[in-house]
């Protein structure tokens, strides 16, 4: 057993004691995707990267992809597109100017992408344009008020890439600039209203601990997460999942 595996084993055992009902935010996002991808016609995944779901959910991802008549993945990073594992229809493009006709898609999804948007109002307008009336945008993004965002701001820039590799095993080439300009409940609601979306659902959720590789600190982090699971601390939860709906004309 290597060090990383031992740390994660300790983490899972500790989580069962401190926060037994905690669920990984990507698992919650997957559940929402399953709800919205039933018998869907045309689906666009924005910032598709290399995958729709976490690496260990390949079989479930293949099943999800098979549900739609047409699934298109769009990303600006060419290297990610070349290595995508399930989507066949891949396009290199910018969310600011989507290369699709008006009212092209029934569903648009975006997993950990909106924190990277430089001009979210205009980019949201583009998503609204290419959605069919009655279509939905499902997005999963970090909450600006979450402790992960606060810790990231405090970390020296020179160490960020190394910390991300140590904590998440994510390579430097997969780390992109973040702006957090549409990453609070209020901002999402305000921009959605200005663009013309209805907010079908907006959930502030917690996710698995980020410090699993540091056993002593992860105990403290799990205690914080347990507090965040209370209604009192809702505003400071780590992640947001929102469903924005384009009204039927």
pLDDT in tens, 16-73: 999 999 999 999 999 999 999 887 899 999 999 999 999 999 999 999 998 888 999 9
Whole-angstrom distance, CA of residue 184 vs CA of residue 205: 12
Determine the pLDDT at residue 38: 82
Task: Report the first-to-last Cα separation within the chain, whole angstroms.
Answer: 58
DSSP secondary-structure letter at 246? P
- Bridge partner list, 45: 73, 109
Three-state SS for 17? helix
Q: What is the mean pLDDT of the chain?
A: 90
Instruction: Kindly report the number of other CB atoms within 10 A of residue 248's CB atom.
Output: 8
- Bridge partner list, 110: 46, 139
Whole-angstrom distance, CA of residue 129 vs CA of residue 200: 18
Tokens 């939860």: give the residue: 237
**CB contact set of 175 (below 8 Å; sequence gap of 6+):** 160, 161, 164
- SS3 for 139-202 is EEEECCCCHHHHHHHHCCHHHHHHHHHHHHCCCHHHCCCCCCCCCCHHHHHHHHHHHCCEEEEE
Determine the pLDDT at residue 158: 57
Determine the pLDDT at residue 199: 97
Phi, psi of 49 (to 5 degrees): 55, -135
Do residues 53 and 60 touch, judged by C-beta distance below 8 A? yes
Three-state SS for 16? helix
Tokens 């990303």: give the residue: 75
- How many Cα atoms within 13 Å fall on the side-chain side of residue 189? 7
Phi, psi of 192 (to 5 degrees): -60, -45
User: Residue 99 pLDDT more than 90?
Assistant: yes
pLDDT in tens, 162-210: 555 445 555 555 556 788 999 999 999 999 999 999 999 999 999 999 8
User: Residue 107 pLDDT more than 60?
Assistant: yes
Assessment of whether the complete model's pTM goes beyond 0.85? yes
> What domains are there in the chain, each with its CATH number?
3-245 (3.40.50.150)
């Amino acid at each position: 057993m290597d060090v990383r595996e031992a740390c994660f084993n300790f983490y899972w055992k500790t989580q069962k004691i401190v926060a037994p009902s905690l669920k990984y935010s990507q698992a919650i996002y997957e559940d929402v995707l399953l709800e919205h991808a039933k018998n869907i016609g045309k689906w666009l995944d924005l910032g598709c990267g290399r995958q729709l779901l976490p690496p260990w959910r390949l079989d479930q991802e293949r099943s999800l992809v098979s549900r739609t008549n047409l699934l298109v993945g769009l990303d600006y990073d060419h290297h990610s597109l070349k290595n995508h594992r399930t989507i066949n229809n891949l396009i290199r493009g910018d969310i600011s100017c989507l290369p699709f006709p008006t009212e092209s898609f029934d569903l648009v999804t975006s997993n950990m992408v909106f924190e990277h948007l430089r001009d979210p109002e205009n980019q949201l307008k583009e998503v609204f344009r290419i959605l069919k009336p009655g279509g939905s945008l499902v997005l999963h993004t970090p909450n600006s008020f979450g402790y992960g965002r606060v810790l990231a701001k405090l970390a020296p820039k020179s160490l960020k890439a190394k910390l991300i590799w140590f904590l998440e095993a994510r390579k430097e080439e997969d780390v992109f600039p973040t702006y957090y300009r549409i990453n609070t409940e209020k901002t999402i609601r305000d921009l959605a209203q200005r663009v013309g979306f209805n907010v079908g659902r907006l959930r502030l959720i917690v996710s698995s601990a980020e410090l699993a590789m540091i056993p002593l600190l992860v105990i403290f982090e799990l205690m914080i997460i347990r507090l965040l699971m209370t209604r009192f601390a809702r505003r400071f939860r780590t992640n947001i999942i929102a469903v924005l709906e384009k009204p039927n004309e």
